[in-house]
Amino acid sequence: MTSPTLPPELAEFDLSELSFWTRPESDRLRAYARMRAMERPPVIPIKKLPFTRSKPGFHAITRHADVTEASRTPELFSSEPTTNSLFEMPAWAARFFGSMINMDDPRHAQIRRVVSRAFSPRVLERAEENVRRRTARIVDEMIAEGPRDFVAQAAARLPVEVICDLMGIPERHHDLVLRRTNEILGYTDPEYNGAKADERFFTGTPRRTDVLRASARLVRAGRDLFRLVERLGEERRRDPGDDLISKLVTANADGESLTAQETGSFFILLVTAGNETTRNAIAHALRLFTEFPEQRRLLMEDFDGRIGTAVEEIVRYATPVIQFRRNVTRDCELNGAPLKKGDLVVLIYTAANRDEVVFTDPDRFDILRSPNPHVGFGGPGPHYCLGAHLARREITVMLRELFTRLPDIRADGEPDRLVSHFINGIKRMPFTFTPPGSRDGGEEGTS
């Protein structure tokens, strides 16, 4: 691919700059709509960063039909060598982040068979009991503390605690897991990567020292999580338990198990993808039900009958994972657009989930929307989210607990959003509720 220039239609929306991902959501949606209307997927330049290698640009795939087609055909749109970065993964990163999400079959299928034991009906049944217990305790503690930050007190806690319980990670390590997860997925956010938050950083020309500092923090985060699971894996090989680490490091019925490297990188994938997707869906859910109170009333009129479609709509509307990369394996076409072997394409799930060809009135939050073929858990195919069912249960249980025990809970003010082209994240969000003991006495809500 020759060095591209930004199409004139996107002159005001430069996706090659990090500053685009700090703009209001309405601006991003206008850019996606403009890209969907173009005859062919636009090619977006990739700005050169110090110490990195990348293609000169990527094809932005924004139509629902194109995203699903690319997802279904991994023989043309490969996940190797990497899916979660526009830049090529260096050797130091591959050790920690070279998980099955960056693999194609047959290796991907083999590892997925092993890790699928984490999501068997028996394991999920036990996990659901834990989700209910954990959620009740989280809300108990939130009521006792009073509302401060919904993400820290509720949304971020549940998924990381559930995943750590599944893996068999002792509670004393939960805070480390959460902090390191924040640093991995916040690698483009100055709060987490240590970069100087100035114009140079946000326009794609950061200082070499900023890139080095961000890389060092990313390495540290991956290394700490990797070493934690590596130590626990050695213990479980000697003395297996009923946790997921034990299942991964001991052979299944076919004699398959994961190496120490594969176990560590899978854990990093699980706590980043699984934690962040659920965490941000829960945070966005409170924001959406505050912004659209009529939808909340609709849900509470028949919670059990409507929560299923409500969760799907939350995931569609918020789309916690913005995009993933794919790598073209041979010359081909996608919806008439010619692609060359070696080209880079980016599947923008947020754009596909607002495609007016598929979704009637796509910018409307409608918890009764049906059908709802969103790609919020990834498109169809081998890389569809393995933990989607668990994520749905966590969102359901948390919303039930919140809305039944705290009927007036609501977001209170603008959320502090993550600076990221990968995760539609909320770092902090003020909220308010009336403590249960105060409602009968007619006291005002706490804030």
β partners of residue 431: 411
What is the DSSP pairing of strand 77-78 with strand 344-348?
unpaired
pLDDT for the residue numbered 446: 41
How do residues 400-422 score in pLDDT, each as one tens digit?
999 999 999 999 999 999 999 99
Domain ranges of the chain: 8-435
Both tokens of residue 379? 């498109």
334 with 71: CB under 8 angstroms?
no
Q: How far is CA 242 from the centre of its chain?
A: 27
pLDDT for the residue numbered 437: 77
> Nearest-CA neighbor of 375 among 67, 66, 138, 50?
67
pTM value is 0.93
Average pLDDT in the 295-300 region? Answer: 98
Position 346 confidence tier, pLDDT thresholds 50, 70, 90 = very high
Average pLDDT in the 254-264 region? Answer: 79
pLDDT for the residue numbered 24: 92
pLDDT for the residue numbered 261: 82
- pLDDT of 250 above 60: yes
Average pLDDT in the 118-135 region? Answer: 83
How do residues 11-59 score in pLDDT, each as one tens digit?
899 888 889 999 999 999 999 999 999 999 999 998 887 777 788 899 9
Task: Give the span between the Cα atoms of 355 and 62, in whole angstroms.
Answer: 8
pLDDT for the residue numbered 16: 83
131 with 389: CB under 8 angstroms?
no
Residues with Cβ within 8 Å of 302's Cβ and at least 6 positions away in sequence, in order, are none
- Residue by residue, DSSP assigns 244-291 as HHHHHHS--TTS----HHHHHHHHHHIIIIIHHHHHHHHHHHHHHHHH
- pLDDT of 202 above 90: no
Average pLDDT in the 138-142 region? Answer: 97
Q: What is the dihedral of CA 13, 18, 21, 27, to 10 degrees?
A: -20
pLDDT for the residue numbered 443: 42
Task: Give the span between the Cα atoms of 363 and 418, in whole angstroms.
Answer: 22
Average pLDDT in the 74-99 region? Answer: 83
pLDDT for the residue numbered 1: 67
- pLDDT of 445 above 50: no
Half-sphere exposure (Cβ direction) of 93: Cα atoms closer than 13 Å: 18
67 with 61: CB under 8 angstroms?
yes
- Residue by residue, DSSP assigns 23-39 as S-HHHHHHHHHHHHHSS
What is the DSSP pairing of strand 57-61 with strand 344-348?
parallel
pLDDT for the residue numbered 439: 59
- pLDDT of 195 above 80: yes
pLDDT for the residue numbered 135: 97
8-435 is classed in which CATH architecture? Orthogonal Bundle (1.10)
Specify burial of residue 23 (Cβ count, 10 A radius: 0-12, 13-18, 19+).
middle
Average pLDDT in the 132-155 region? Answer: 97
Average pLDDT in the 184-202 region? Answer: 86
Task: Tell me 446's DSSP state.
Answer: B
- pLDDT of 299 above 90: yes
How do residues 348-404 score in pLDDT, each as one tens digit?
999 999 999 999 999 999 999 999 999 999 999 999 998 899 999 999 999 999 999
Position 252 confidence tier, pLDDT thresholds 50, 70, 90 = low
